[in-house]
Amino acid sequence: MQSSGLPYRWRLPLLILVVLGVVLIVWQTAKLAGDRAMNSLKEEAENELRLSTAGLEGHLSRHDYLPQLIASREDIERFLANPRIGDAMSVNLLLDSFRSTTDVSDIYLLDRQGITIAASNWHRDDTFLGQNYAFRPYYQDAIAGQPGRFYGLGVRSLDRGYYFSAPVRLDDGDNRPDGVMVVKVPLDQIESSWAEQSAELLVTDKDDIIFMASQPQLRLNALHPLSDEMRETLLATRRYADEPLPHSGLEILENHDTDSLLVRFSQGSLSDQDFLRLSRSLPDFDWQMHILKSLAPVHNAQWQSGLLAGGLYGMVILGGGFGWQRLRLRREREQFAERERQTLAQARDELERHVENRTRDLLESNRRLSDEIDERRRAEANLRQTQDELIQAAKLAVLGQLAAGINHELNQPIAAIRAYAENAQAFLERGRAEAATTNLDQIIELTARMAEISTQLKQFSRKSGEQLTEVSVPACFDYALRLFQARISEAGVDVVHDMPTEGTWVRADPVRLEQVFVNLIGNALQAMADNETPCLKLGVRHDDDDVYISVVDNGPGIDEDSLARIFEPFFTTKSPGNGLGLGLSISSRIIDDLGGRLDADNVSAGGARFLIVLPRAPQPDRTARDTEETTYHG
């Protein structure tokens, strides 16, 4: 400042003004950075909370159907009607099998008085056998005829769980249920997944008791201090057994806005930091889920922004202070200006030469890239054509496998036509025109039947189109079954349909979808060739977005080694000469092209199951439906 020539009386006010400017800039910058960091933290917390609530609801709700499913089994009803000790072990083993398959904690059966007569944990020291659970709300709801839900600590195990129950009724004319089937779902698995998040998650019930938490020390704590009356009420319900339910130590610092709070803990491992708390309701369970995000990133953002703003402001001040020195250098810069212009001119000329050379290289590179792109497009077109030809070849291979049955169906009407023609000729020679006309009518009917068989073959052998349309799944199944009608009749296959009454439509190519159904049904018939009572189950169900199509047989199933490779090209478990190993590979590729997936597994009762998942399409108008039916029926 001394070199600036300012009077002494201006130096102190100028220094005070600089300091105040630094304070103001740092304060405003830190405040703005804190607000932005807080909004970003809140948005991140809302996304994590929404995903966590969806995950918790999905984890619990996927077991809602299980007690009703088990309660409807015939062996459960038979045992409940006559609970002999000799039959109890088989029911215990059955319940334990369901428990292991569905990944739940326990499954047990209560009689009409609420006493456990069968349980999956019959072999454990804390078994439920002989225990009376008539005081539990899930028993009271189910014995009243309604599905029940309940959450709390187990009376015997003291483990937290969510309970689903369903009434068990016997066909004895009594409307009151004869027993209750209960499924206990563990909560440790979903809690362990929370530990991977960069936030703390809590689940509280309507009494503000922390029932689930990512921090173990917060579980079975009260969100707010409980009154003596509330403690007595909770102890009376036995929901949390004899747990003391202490206060979690949560303190509210301030209301950040209408749906978020700034909180901290006065005790425990989380007491050394502040949190942003957001809550979300789970109305199906009467719970609330809370997420706690540490405010450390907000504080760090404020400090960093404040320091950066102060540093920048200081640099501006220093730059202004030294600006006057640049004025003194102006003359010296003017002296070197001409030399600098000459240097820049030389550099510009050199740069132009480099740019020209580089442009020439880029044009050559672009030409090569264009040639490569054209070559790739030609290769993709050839690949697609090869794939279409392979699909058509596989379809023709299936037609070859169907040839025996089709030949049998054609030989019968041909033989009948010859007999009817000879009879008609004899009747005409005898002057019996009416009898001859009857025989000719039979010949016309048989030729129509042969034409229908031929139409089915031509329809199946036609090539696919490129455009996707709304396709009726039941109509595709009907068409595929008609191709195998002879084999199904000769083998005595029982075909079971499990489909909704209303039509189910998907967005697909009807020819390709028909080929997939023909491949799956043909494989199922081959798998059941040695079965005395073959049964083919065709199922269709859907939700709002997808359609689930299943083909299930009761053959020998698929061994585990083959299950992992079943969709590989040219992999087959059939004997030589009975298949190329392309049907399932092509079927999987077709479903992938249609935007779905094809899975295979074994069913517990024996046999294999193939599941197709495709996007659901809206039901078309009447004109489109008539066109669809005309396509399938020739």
Percent of the chain with pLDDT over 90: 18
Q: Return the pLDDT at 460.
A: 54
Judge whether 470 and 620 are in contact, CB under 8 Å.
Answer: yes
pLDDT band at 1 (very low <50, low <70, confident <90, very high): very low
> Is 435 among the domain residues?
yes
Q: Which of 172-176, 197-201, 327-331 has the weakest average pLDDT?
A: 172-176
Place of tokens 């979903």: 190
Asked whether residue 149 falls in the same domain as residue 108, the answer is yes
Q: Return the pLDDT at 611.
A: 96
Q: Return the pLDDT at 634.
A: 44
Asked whether residue 515 falls in the same domain as residue 621, the answer is yes
> Mind listing the pLDDT tens digit for each residue in 180-214?
999 999 888 888 888 778 888 889 888 888 888 88
pLDDT band at 46 (very low <50, low <70, confident <90, very high): confident
Q: Return the pLDDT at 249.
A: 80
Q: Return the pLDDT at 553.
A: 95
> Is 468 among the domain residues?
yes
> Mind listing the pLDDT tens digit for each residue in 10-28?
777 777 877 777 788 878 8
pLDDT band at 449 (very low <50, low <70, confident <90, very high): low
Residue 579 scores a pLDDT above 60: no
> Mind listing the pLDDT tens digit for each residue in 98-153?
999 988 989 999 999 999 999 999 998 889 898 999 988 899 999 998 999 888 88
Which tops the pLDDT comparison, 632 or 541? 541
Which tops the pLDDT comparison, 633 or 163? 163
Q: Return the pLDDT at 498.
A: 92
Residue 337 scores a pLDDT above 90: no
Residue 497 scores a pLDDT above 80: yes
> Is 581 among the domain residues?
yes
Residue 396 scores a pLDDT above 60: no
Residue 29 scores a pLDDT above 90: no
In 3-state terms the chain splits into helix, strand, coil percentages (rounded to 5) of 55, 20, 25
Q: Which of 76, 85, 68 is nearest to 109 (CA)?
A: 76
Q: Return the pLDDT at 322.
A: 74
Task: Determine how many CB atoms are found less than 10 A away from the CB of residue 45.
Answer: 19
Asked whether residue 430 falls in the same domain as residue 548, the answer is no
Task: Give the burial class of 73: count Cβ atoms within 10 A of its Cβ; 0-12 exposed, 13-18 middle, 19 or more buried.
Answer: middle
Tell me the CATH number at 169: 3.30.450.20
Which tops the pLDDT comparison, 72 or 322? 72
Task: Give the burial class of 567: count Cβ atoms within 10 A of its Cβ; 0-12 exposed, 13-18 middle, 19 or more buried.
Answer: middle
Which tops the pLDDT comparison, 152 or 420? 152
H or E element, residue 207: none
Asked whether residue 109 falls in the same domain as residue 83, the answer is yes
pLDDT band at 450 (very low <50, low <70, confident <90, very high): low
Q: Return the pLDDT at 388.
A: 62
Residue 431 scores a pLDDT above 60: yes
Asked whether residue 532 falls in the same domain as residue 426, the answer is no
d(Cα 83, Cα 75) in Å, to the nearest integer? Answer: 11
Judge whether 480 and 517 are in contact, CB under 8 Å.
Answer: yes
Which pTM value belongs to this model? 0.46
Asked whether residue 563 falls in the same domain as residue 624, the answer is yes
Average pLDDT of the chain is: 81
Residue 485 scores a pLDDT above 90: no
Asked whether residue 448 falls in the same domain as residue 489, the answer is no
Residue 632 scores a pLDDT above 50: no
Mean of the pLDDT values across residues 281-309?
82
Residue 155 scores a pLDDT above 80: no
> Is 346 among the domain residues?
yes
Asked whether residue 513 falls in the same domain as residue 605, the answer is yes
Q: Which of 357, 393, 194, 377 is nearest to 289 (CA)?
A: 194
Mean of the pLDDT values across residues 476-497?
86
> Is 110 among the domain residues?
yes
Residue 59 scores a pLDDT above 90: no
Asked whether residue 468 falls in the same domain as residue 440, the answer is no
Domain boundary among the residues 453, 473, 500 is at 453
Tell me the CATH number at 513: 3.30.565.10
Q: Return the pLDDT at 2.
A: 45
Asked whether residue 500 falls in the same domain as residue 590, the answer is yes
- What is the extent of the structural domain holding 123? 66-186
> Mind listing the pLDDT tens digit for each residue in 368-385?
888 888 888 887 777 666
User: Which H, E and C letters describe 377-423, residue by residue?
Assistant: HHHHHHHHHHHHHHHHHHHHHHHHHHHHHHHHHHHHHHHHHHHHHHH
> Is 107 among the domain residues?
yes
Domain boundary among the residues 421, 453, 485 is at 453
> Mind listing the pLDDT tens digit for each residue in 514-558?
888 988 998 899 889 889 999 999 999 999 899 999 999 999 998
Percent of the chain with pLDDT over 70: 84
> Mind listing the pLDDT tens digit for each residue in 607-631?
999 999 999 998 887 554 555 544 4
Mean of the pLDDT values across residues 351-360?
85
Task: Determine how many CB atoms are found less than 10 A away from the CB of residue 358.
Answer: 10
Which tops the pLDDT comparison, 605 or 628? 605
Which tops the pLDDT comparison, 583 or 401? 583
Asked whether residue 545 falls in the same domain as residue 617, the answer is yes
Domain boundary among the residues 434, 453, 472 is at 453
Asked whether residue 425 falls in the same domain as residue 479, the answer is no
Residue 354 scores a pLDDT above 90: no
Which tops the pLDDT comparison, 390 or 277? 277
> Is 126 among the domain residues?
yes
> Is 362 among the domain residues?
yes
Radius of gyration of the chain, Cα coordinates, nearest whole angstrom? 39
Number of domains in the chain: 3
